[in-house]
Copies of this chain bind each other. A is one copy, B any other.
């Protein structure tokens, strides 16, 4: 059996349709899964919810909302509308997952609009979008989880680059409706990472803890640079201990963007994820189990 707090993020077996992803996750003895909107949409939300319920797996998060930085008004409206649908989907899927599921929607802020150098303006639009969406999240019992992405993605993917910045963005809102993702790959380098994790815990904002590893040289497409925990240089001991110390008892996701892993057999990837987690992360977890 896999560690009871491990959740396989579906992106790790990106090419698996939903039904196969659920099957391989359960077959590997993993109890929880993080889903992506596209494979859910492929089968339709209602059927996705039934498949999830039938699998007996917990649901740990939906990827992803966000992309708030566009400047064009019509495009911005479409982005907000897409996020409204994503909030609904999150609520439905969390309700269909096994007890202990988390109604968490992961938000990737978005990069600089084409041709723009206005980083401060882009960040302001993220703040504004959160204000627009938070009432619906609150009413739906969904937590919007702001994910800081590594600074190498600041121009074209996410203008939120540190955990501290994500917490500042969350500040105006209740922790139940706006939280943060703690993702080792994105924040391991941050000199303030341990204090930011402690702050996130003290503010009750840790909506998701995600573990994957960093190694160099980076691949040609730096979006696909993630490795199994233990295959790189990240110290999962200090980071996991810091998250544990906050009292976080939720699922811990492994989300790997990596061409080699994507090309591998899905069952093998699920099994390897479970064993990597056991070796690199589990030793740093206390006896707590998800409630």
Residue positions of A touching B, CB distance < 8 A: 112, 116-120, 123, 150-152, 154-156, 161-162, 164-165, 168, 188-191, 214-218, 220-222, 232-235, 238
**Which listed residue (B151, B155, B188) contacts A119, Cβ 8 A?**
B188
- For A214, the chain B residues whose CB sits under 8 A away are 155
**Which listed residue (B164, B215, B222) contacts A222, Cβ 8 A?**
B222
Q: Is the CB of A190 within 8 A of B218?
A: no
Which partner residue on chain B sits nearest A159 by CB separation? B189
Q: Is the CB of B191 within 8 A of A123?
A: yes
Closest chain B CB from A282 CB (angstroms): 17
- For A191, the chain B residues whose CB sits under 8 A away are 123, 161-162, 164-165, 168
Known: A152-B150, A214-B155, A222-B222. A234 touches B117 (CB 8 A): yes
Bound complex: CA of A234 vs CA of B123, how far in Å?
Answer: 15
Closest chain B CB from A230 CB (angstroms): 10
Q: Is the CB of A222 within 8 A of B233?
A: no
Closest chain B CB from A234 CB (angstroms): 7
Residue picked from A165, A168, A215, A233, most chain B C-beta under 10 Å: A233
Could you pull out 18 A-B pairs where Cβ atoms are within 8 angstroms? A112-B233, A117-B234, A150-B152, A151-B151, A151-B189, A152-B218, A152-B222, A155-B189, A155-B214, A155-B215, A155-B216, A156-B216, A156-B217, A161-B189, A161-B190, A164-B191, A217-B221, A218-B218
- For A150, the chain B residues whose CB sits under 8 A away are 151-152
Which 9 A-B residue pairings sit nearest by Cβ, starting from the closest? A154-B189, A152-B152, A165-B191, A117-B235, A151-B189, A156-B216, A220-B220, A155-B233, A151-B151
- For A162, the chain B residues whose CB sits under 8 A away are 190-191
Closest chain B CB from A150 CB (angstroms): 7
- For A164, the chain B residues whose CB sits under 8 A away are 191
- For A165, the chain B residues whose CB sits under 8 A away are 191
- For A119, the chain B residues whose CB sits under 8 A away are 188-189, 233, 235
Which partner residue on chain B sits nearest A168 by CB separation? B191
Bound complex: CA of A40 vs CA of B249, how far in Å?
Answer: 57
- For A161, the chain B residues whose CB sits under 8 A away are 189-191
- For A238, the chain B residues whose CB sits under 8 A away are 120
Bound complex: CA of A151 vs CA of B221, how far in Å?
Answer: 17
Bound complex: CA of A3 vs CA of B116, how far in Å?
Answer: 26
Bound complex: CA of A89 vs CA of B255, how far in Å?
Answer: 49
Which partner residue on chain B sits nearest A218 by CB separation? B222
Closest chain B CB from A265 CB (angstroms): 28
